[in-house]
Amino acid sequence: MKRLLEGKVAIITGAGRGVGRAEALAIAREGAKVVVNDHGSRFDGTGKSTDPTQSVVEEVKALGGEAVANFADVGSFQEAREVVNQAITAFGKLNILVNNAGILRDKTLFNMEEEDWDKVINTHLKGTFNCSRHACAYFREQHKKGNALRGKIINTSSSAGLHGTPGQANYGSAKAAIAAFTVIAAQEMARYEVCVNCVVPLARTRLTTDVTSSMKAMMRNVDQGEFDIMNPENLAPLAVFFASDLANDITGEVCRMLGDTVYLLRGWHEVDKASRGKVIWKAEELSPVIHHMVEKAGHLSWSSPQP
C-alpha cells in the first residue's frame, strides 16, 4: 500500500527531541524525505549541540528513510532561508514545512527581562514567520511556473497562548500570534493551493518537564502497558494528516491533540453586543452596559467583581 507521504520532502524544525522528533519519525515512516532541523540548544535557548539532530537523522535512516541534518537557528531570517534551500538542494523540492522549534523562559511579567521576551518571541513567532516566508515564496514561484506542489505548512501553538497561562506572557503571546498567523497565511496562500494549519500539543517534552518540579510530577512516566496520555507520539498522526493529501481541503484550522482526543479550536468570537443608536458613547454610559455583558457571559476565572 502506498504510504501517505511517498515522494514528498519535509522540513521539521525543532526536531531533535520531543514533539518535533516524533513528527519527523512519523513523517519519514510515511515515505517523506526529511530535513531534520534543530539548533541543539537547552530548553531556555542557551547552548548548542549537534547530537540531538544527528541522532534523529540516524533514526530515520534506520527506518529505511532519507534524512539530512540542519543545525540552523530559525530565528535568523537568513539561516531559515538556508534550511529551505537545503531541502531543495538535497532532495530536489519542498512539499511540507512543520514549524515546531521553541524554547521557554518563564517569568512573571514584572520579573521578565527584555532578553527573555525577545528570545522567546524570536524563536517561536519570528522562527515560524522566517521559515514560512521562504517556503511560501518557493511554493508561489513553483505554482506560477505551473508546478503546483500543494504545499503544506503545519505550525505549532499552545494552550498557553489560546487560553493563557500565568508566567508565560512571552511564550503565550508568541503562541497566540502563531494561531492568528496560521489563519492569515492560509488566506494568502489559498490561491497557490497551499494549506496552512496549526497543531496544539500537550505532551511530555523538555518544555513541560524541565521547567518546574510540579510539572515534572504531573508529566511523570506512566506504568508500562498503560496508555500514556503525555506521549509526544500521540500528536504525530495529526501532523501527518495535515501534511498529506488527505488534508487538501483543510486550511486555516487549529487542532489540539491530548492523548487519544483531538479538538477543533476556533478563535475570538463575539459574545454579546450593545448599540448606542448613532450617538457616541460616554464612559459612564458604557459602565453598566459592559458590566451587564460580562455578568451575563460569566466572569473570567481569575477575575471577580470589585466590592
The pLDDT value given to residue 223: 65
What is the gyration radius of the CA atoms in the chain, in angstroms? Answer: 21
Q: Do 176 and 289 sit in the same domain of this protein?
A: no
Best CA proximity match to 250, nearest among 202, 201, 183, 200: 183
Give 28's pLDDT tier (boundaries 50, 70, 90): very high
Q: Do 162 and 240 sit in the same domain of this protein?
A: yes
In a domain, 190, yes or no: yes
Q: Do 184 and 67 sit in the same domain of this protein?
A: yes
Q: Looking at 6-10, 13-17, 199-203, 296-300, which range is the least confident one?
A: 199-203
In a domain, 4, yes or no: no
Q: What is the average pLDDT across 186-215?
A: 78
pTM for the structure as a whole: 0.90
Do strands 152-156 and 254-258 pair parallel, antiparallel, or not at all (unpaired)? unpaired
Give 267's pLDDT tier (boundaries 50, 70, 90): confident
Cell of 62: 534506520
Q: Do 232 and 295 sit in the same domain of this protein?
A: no
Give 195's pLDDT tier (boundaries 50, 70, 90): very high
Please give the residue range of the domain that contains residue 307. Answer: 271-307
Q: Do 104 and 192 sit in the same domain of this protein?
A: yes
In a domain, 2, yes or no: no
Active-site positions read: 158, 171, 175
Neighbours of 265 (CB within 10 A): 15
* H/E segment holding residue 100: none
Give 40's pLDDT tier (boundaries 50, 70, 90): confident
In a domain, 224, yes or no: yes
DSSP character string of 178-239: HHHHHHHHHHHHGGGT-EEEEEEE---SHHHHSS-HHHHHHTPPPPTTS--TT-GGGTHHHH
Summarised one tens digit per residue, pLDDT across range 78-128 is 999 999 999 999 999 999 999 999 999 999 999 999 999 999 999 999 999
Q: Do 174 and 31 sit in the same domain of this protein?
A: yes
For the chain, what is the domain count? 2
In a domain, 137, yes or no: yes
The pLDDT value given to residue 1: 80
Neighbours of 59 (CB within 10 A): 16
The pLDDT value given to residue 300: 83
Best CA proximity match to 252, nearest among 183, 156, 179: 183
Q: What is the average pLDDT across 12-37?
A: 97
Q: Do 190 and 60 sit in the same domain of this protein?
A: yes
Best CA proximity match to 139, nearest among 270, 9, 284, 288: 9
In a domain, 202, yes or no: yes
Summarised one tens digit per residue, pLDDT across range 146-188 is 999 999 999 999 989 898 999 999 999 999 999 999 999 999 9
Q: Do 255 and 297 sit in the same domain of this protein?
A: no
SS3 call for 153: strand
Reduced to 3 DSSP states, what percent helix, strand and coil does the chain have, rounded to the nearest 5?
Answer: 45, 15, 40
Q: Do 140 and 287 sit in the same domain of this protein?
A: no
